[in-house]
Structure 1
């Protein structure tokens, strides 16, 4: 078990990154929750797939040449080596980002 580093237990307003998970999980994850609109990372890519499990709100994703609206209850998968970014929607966004690698490997493109 891994506890939240800031001591909160309400699941709100956080972004935490977890690498080298116990039990040789073989993945790394980002837990993200914000009520803010228009937030998100700049264009980047990974040499492995990244899966977004959207739990609340929405975000506009750019995945390669495509733009899609991801919303609560959806799962988006970005293939390896595909440039991507997202911007949170008007009601914010909560998601689990699963990186198919035990450590984050990111190439920033913008």
Structure 2
């Protein structure tokens, strides 16, 4: 591509969604620079404590979650954005009653996770 489309990267939902029509899946190496996780977590669910050697950004689309970032707990809902610095332990749990939907942006061309629990 040339002109205004140079460097453009696009992916269709059917290419990342693990279940057609649902907000759940992942893309690694998007644009060669970031990886994305499209989270769909039922109330009470979420990943255990972990860290990454790069920053991770959470954008909440729907539902609510309790994020534990290092020693701090933050409740976030639709439209809220959190950024976890590189190397900082974190986890989250969907609070309900609605299903959590978020976009988790990893500042890396592939996922690197250090699981702590």
| Band the TM-score falls in, shorter-chain normalisation | 0.7 to 0.9
Corresponding residue for 2:83? Answer: 77
Structure 1 gap segments, 5+ residues each:
none
Give the one of 30, 43, 47 matched to 2:49.
43
Q: For 1:56-102, what per-residue CA distance to the aligned partner results, in whole angstroms no more than 9, with x for missing partners?
A: 01100000010010111100001100000000011220000000010
Q: In structure 1, which of residues 18, 22, 30 is the aligned counterpart of residue 37 of structure 2?
A: 30
Is the contact made by 2:16 and 2:27 (CA closer than 8 Å) also made in structure 1?
A: no
Identify the residue that residue 108 of structure 2 maps to in structure 1. Answer: 101
Task: Please give the alpha-carbon distance, in whole angstroms, between the structure 2 residues aligned to 1:101 and 1:81.
Answer: 13
1:6 Cα offset (Å): 4.4
Match of 2:69 among 39, 63, 71: 63
Is the CA contact (8 Å cut-off) linking 2:28 and 2:110 kept in structure 1? yes
Q: Which has the higher strand share?
A: 1
RMSD of the alignment, in Å?
1.5
Extract unaligned runs of 5+ from structure 2. 1-10
SS at match of 1:20: strand
Deviation of the 1:33 alpha carbon: 2.1
Distance 2:75 2:69 in 1: 11
Larger radius of gyration: 2
- TM-score w.r.t. structure 2 length? 0.81
Question: Following TM superposition, where does structure 1 have runs of at least 4 consecutive aligned residues deviating by more than 6 angstroms?
Answer: none
Q: Displacement of 1:15 after TM fit?
A: 2.7
